[in-house]
Amino acid sequence: MALEFAGKGSPLTLDGFAAAAEILGVKAAEIWAVLTVETLGCGFLADKRPAILFERHIFHGQTGGRFDNEADVSNPAAGGYGPGGAAQYGRLAEALKLDRVAALKSASWGIGQVMGFNAESAGFEFHLSLSHKFSPTVVHRFRS
């Protein structure tokens, strides 16, 4: 699991932050507000994987509740996120075994915490490309 999503993640530099603000047409404070709430200001874990949050209620919806017997990864109720950080990849790994497409669509990815099911509307051909796009560098996300 770790190698599948490991990348060459690098933190957002001052130049990259300025470029992101320009691309988005917003002020720095607006970006920082979102980043602070969604990812505590960083889109990567220490091992360079994109920060994720696996959302079991989204997986429930994506799979029609077929896997609700696996309560840690599928449940109609929001919440029950468990520990953050690397532990979220354990939950994703369990869901990947059940339904890979639905699992990837049920996680929010990287510094902007874009939901996998929003990949196409964010300009990605397939949700898997979204997760790999989040691995290289932060600024690419703002261009997508």
pLDDT tens across 12-63, in order?
778 888 888 888 899 888 888 877 777 666 778 888 788 899 999 999 999 9
> Across residues 82-104, what is the average pLDDT?
93
For 1, 11, 13, 52, 88, the CA distances from 82, given in Å and listed in that order, are: 18, 25, 30, 12, 8
Q: Which residue has the higher pLDDT, 35 or 87?
A: 87
Count of CB atoms within 10 A of residue 115's CB?
19
Q: Please give the residue range of the domain that contains residue 119.
A: 2-143
Q: What is the DSSP letter of 11?
A: P
Number of domains in the chain: 1
